[in-house]
Structure 1
């Protein structure tokens, strides 16, 4: 799908400025050491890697002057690295002059073409100078080639946040000392208890003889009694001492627990603040995208954005990108009418979309996406739902409140055929699945002829959230607190039987009651006793009461993602580890609600038809050590409808591939730690990953490089070329 190149270029230029500043800073710290003597192989490798990445980033944004200088410098450094040229002391000054030239270009100066040409010629000449016998560096075996120092992604941190972290570090060190002292005391207390127990065992025979004498009516042995009384006095003294130690231990541990709790809260807030980004960082790119999408369909549309300072966890914003793109494509393709049709309906020719943001609690926010298009044709939704088996044949039209949620079912589309933007019935199913995986949900409202509204409810961060803990038999489960409408403790008589179903009359409504043990198919006896405990899921007339053995209360947890084999197991969102060390499953509230709908109170499935599973969105891993180049590829692929994850180098990509599930790998070749050739070779040797399609995108355009790429198992070998996107997208589409 075509991009708004101007908007994308502005974002990429901003990204390049940040990346180039960091790479130039690395060069600024490395090159002065070369004036004091010949550089080490590791230093040559570091400078080479930074220049190479800077060249790739400059090419991505079309900065030809920087690219040309870096290309010539890279060739010179490559000759030094491979021993094909000699390092001479005067080259240190030459390289520093080249660095100053790049700094000027990065700062916005226009370099005279003749100066660029002279700099490139001088570097090319240096690369062509062969080493002398006395100066030639020893050849480095291929297996021992020095690697650059790993360079991770960076985050800008304000000075006051550094001060906070320094304070947290000092407080943690103090807490560690206090904990060590408490551990020493507890060990001493345990040793005293062991002494008491061992002496008790040594007196076991004495106590037995005294009991026998008393049982036989004999006079107890005075010596034995005295020995027993001495032991009793010793034990009492030791117990008094142990009691004092335990009191001190309890007070100290309580104080330390309080201090660590405060420190943990403060540190969590500081880390959350680091992870939070303004929502505008995601939204600002969307108006240009909407205009571009509308132009593809012959329509006119604009998107207005809120003037907001709301900040949200970067991980939430990253995961929200793909659902938003799907919703915008759907709004333009299905909602916004053609200009002539809009004028005939008394509307302006240009369709209007808007996004509004509001924070309605300390942990959640709402995103409202609204358009002034034709709205959703519920009659057509009902007809398609009946045709696909989502609904049994009806005698008449159903209420819109019952029909609108069906648009999120996989495979349901009101279009007869797919268009360039949508129409396969998968987009909204993907949207709902992605939002639910975030711990959010989505609602829809529509007015025929006036437009449609999608309301997204989302968490502000993914670090932690509140859950309600419940007990079912011997099992404990956690339910996200934002999905639980009410917790109820009622007499058993409040539950009634209506038409074979267990129901509860609450707030004037008859709510169906489902037992959590039966819904989850876990072994547990049915609830008994005079009191029943339940929690409510759903909204309004769509609520369901879920019965459990015990409501244990609510608490804040840290959600842990499920491993690869369980990533989308029904009814499970993740897991958490409680303070006692026990692992508790966290239930997926939307899955749980749907499971309750499909099961009668007696445990038998209802006749509600089950929607077909959503077609999984293709996931692509993009690997490049230049985050400007990564940003370009990510923008291209996400706009084309793919889910994209990025990695900084080959080793990071290898770890991601082993832990995640991907349909395609797009990789640069020249990267630190593990290059694209070696990464592809590792894939082809791994039985689980050998069939993964691989696209290598690189600046290496020699025939031998291309042959090497195909030899190691790449499915496509593409040469980088700015914003030429058709070749990349056609290769991806062909392999998927």
Structure 2
């Protein structure tokens, strides 16, 4: 099938006009605030990103004049953002003039090549610290002509119809809730009807015995019985009406459900587009980028027939462009370099759409290039002041890979018009999280990198976990929730005055949702904690909530233009009972949690005696040694470690310790031999020894006690409380 490049170019230009109009509006507002109020670091970062994205969009449609101005403008903002230049009023005015120049080109005004060249030269000179020379007059911006097509109008009407269909879907949930209440009302009448049948004989006997009563008493009893008969008739009528109302409510609920779901499905089918619409124009862009970089590349696309919400695809175009640009510029090697490594001269980039479940899909972008340069990333992070040398060295490969998402970090040694500013991946991550998704990274040196974007298929509805905290109800996107846990309160321990949880061999931070959102927590008296295990940006953490209400599919409502971006909130939804519930933003929750300085979960500090006690761990397994160290430090002890029995013996002879926790099976000197040597030493004979081992036979236990161990704990049934109790008893 031949590619109609002319039609494609017109389509891309139409998309660019819409995007550029929005970005230019943001830039105009931001620069106006700079002029009146000064610039904050956050506003500089925001405008820097807008100019960066506008430059990329202009390049995609071949608008070279706009791209050149934005590139020079970006250099100036980058220098200010990096702290090498001060944002003086003259530089702000130069930025405003650059904005006017781009607006003029966007409006279709003929380009004055001399003025444009002078503007670019002024911007580049200002970026190098030269004195700013402002033009005498600003470019006049003509009004944009009205677009002749009806595409934008019809799209707006479609969005309005979709909004009304979502409202109808909400009414369906409310009707279902009312039908359930009617059923409960009918069921409440059933016992009364049964009681009437049982009491019928008693009332008949009362009527017969009334003849023996005095006349006045007969009249009173007769009036009472008549009132009872009337009341029973009313109850029968109410019961019958309740049955009819329940039937009508069920019928109305079912009819409304069928109507709303059919309408929503039809409208969603209009908005659902094949994934192929996302990749339109990308193969040509990849080839152009490869030619500029002197590389050869093949782009393979799979799963392009998957149907995805058009709004999701629109939001993904910019992140996907960044990922492909990085794959070509950073990931793939030149043909000569690939041949030297035994690879085909033509690099391979694979783009695949995979449906994960009924409401989720994965966008996978993979290349067979050089992979991430982790050492360079660490060095850049240290140079930028994000990490110290010690922290950088302690990072694992997975943790170092996450540095690529930090704003301003890039492994490119050269700043080019393609990349090197360290901004693209930060934009990718923010864009993915904004639509309720998450991004994961895999990289292998010499084999390439793979980005996994986990996203909802539909932007209007998704599954959420409903929780209650501080007498308020919240919804948490299920995509970010790995597990829901209910654990004893003792499972949460303090480590360096921070609540932590050891789960599946990993020490996880724990935060209270009330602390993160600044709410007043309620008292917990049942001894158990309800926790959500979340994964955000590759980091796992536990979030304490007061009550788990369940999970359900919800319709997402934005907060309106006045509340376009509210920290910790993704949007709002209305439950079936009419309750308005905020939807929490997982990424914001994690950032807010990291900024939390106090926690209601922090237990009272241990006494000075506990803090002064020094323990030694002898364990040859790195994982077990780290787990034991985390448990003991979390309990307030000072802890030192040794890799085997001989190293532990040397440590005991060199410094005072209050207790030894030792494995049995270790190289050079096992735990039994170490314990025997301690008991034979005059200075160490009274030192408490706790053996923690996988050896569980009676013979092994007897051998440990014979060697002189004070406690023998088996790892297969080992719990941290058992270890802490044993230590407290011994010291």
Structure 1 residues 529 and 303: alpha-carbon distance in aligned structure 2, compared to 1, 3 A threshold: same
Aligned to 1:304: 300
Deviation of the 1:421 alpha carbon: 1.1
CA distance in 2, matches of 1:384, 1:152: 44
Q: What are the Cα deviations for residues 384-443 of structure 1, in whole angstroms up to 9, with x where unaligned? A: 112223223327362111111121112222335531112222211111111111111111
Deviation for aligned residue 1:573: 1.0
1:363-442 aligned at under 5 Å gives the runs 363-394=359-390, 396=393, 398-416=395-413, 418-442=415-439
1:10 CA drift (Å): 4.3
Match of 2:505 among 488, 503, 508: 508
Secondary structure at the residue paired with 1:271? Answer: helix
* CA deviation profile, 1:227-262 (whole Å, cap 9, x unmatched): 777666545433432232122212321233234334
Change (3 A) 1:529 1:325: same
Aligned to 1:465: 462
Residues 466-505 of structure 1 mapped to structure 2, 5 A cutoff: 466-505=463-502
Matches within 5 A, 1:239-254: 239-254=235-250
Which residue of structure 2 lines up, in the alignment, with residue 256 of structure 1?
Answer: 252
State the Cα deviation string for residues 166-214 of structure 1 (Å, max 9, x = none): xx9xx99xx9xx99xx9xx99xx9xxxxxxxxxxxxxxxxxxxxxxxxx
Query: Superposed, which structure 2 residues align to 1:233-632 within 5 Å?
Result: 234-306=230-302, 308-394=304-390, 396=393, 398-416=395-413, 418-538=415-535, 542-599=539-596, 602=599
- Counterpart contact for 2:480–2:536, Cα < 8 Å: no
TM-score (norm 1): 0.51
Greater shift in the superposed pair: 264-273 or 385-394: 264-273
Shift in CA distance, 593/254, structure 1 to aligned 2, threshold 3 Å: same
Root-mean-square deviation over aligned CA pairs: 4.0
Identify if the C-alpha distance between structure 1 residues 590 and 290 changes in structure 2 by more than 3 Å, giving closer, same or farther: same
Change (3 A) 1:341 1:551: same
| Contact kept? 2:354, 2:363, Cα under 8 Å | yes
Partner SS state of residue 302, structure 2: coil
* Aligned-residue offset at 1:598: 4.2
CA distance in structure 1 between the aligned counterparts of 2:403 and 2:306, rounded to whole angstroms? 32
In structure 2, do the counterparts of structure 1 residues 533 and 235 end up closer, same or farther at CA, with 3 Å as the change threshold? Answer: same
Give 1:487 deviation, angstroms.
1.0
Deviation of 1:498 after TM superposition, in Å, equals 3.6
Structure 2: distance between partners of 1:520 and 1:433: 21
Whole-angstrom distance in 2 between the partners of 1:344 and 1:418: 26
Distance 1:14 1:400 in 2: 42
Contact 2:298-2:348 at 8 Å conserved across structures:
yes
Q: 1:438 to 1:341 in 2, by over 3 A?
A: same
- Pair 1:476–1:525, CA change in 2 (3 A): same
Structure with larger RCO (C-alpha < 8 A, sep 6+): 1
Decide whether the 8 Å contact of 1:381 with 1:407 is kept in 2. Answer: yes
Q: Over residues 127-147 of structure 1, what are the superposed CA-to-partner deviations in whole Å (9 max), with x where a residue is unaligned? A: xxxxxxxxxxxxxxxxxxxx9
Q: What whole-Å deviation, never above 9, does each CA across 1:628-658 have from its counterpart, x for those lacking one?
A: xxxxxxxxxxxxxxxxxxxxxxxxxxxxxxx
Mark the runs of 5 or more structure 2 residues left unpaired by the alignment. 14-60, 62-146, 156-161, 187-214, 603-731
Distance in 2 of aligned mates of 1:591 and 1:521: 14
CA contact (8 A) 2:439 2:537 kept: no
Q: Distance in 2 between matches of 1:483 and 1:438?
A: 12
Distance 2:585 2:508 in 1: 21
CA distance 1:508–1:342, change in 2 (3 Å): closer
TM-score (norm 2): 0.52
* Preserved CA contact (<8 Å) 2:303 2:353: no
Q: Are residues 423 and 568 of structure 1, via their aligned partners in 2, closer, same or farther at CA, if it must alter by over 3 Å? A: farther
Quick one: distance in 2 between partners of 1:486 and 1:429? Answer: 27
Deviation for aligned residue 1:555: 0.7
Q: How far apart, CA to CA, are the structure 2 residues paired with 1:274 and 1:10?
A: 22
* SS of match in other structure, 1:272: helix
Q: CA–CA distance in 1 between the matches of 2:488 and 2:412?
A: 51
Offset from partner CA, 1:355-408 (integer Å, 9 cap, x none): 122112111111111112222111111111122232233273621111111211
Q: 1:339 to 1:15 in 2, by over 3 A?
A: closer
Contact 1:275 1:314 in 2 (8 A): yes
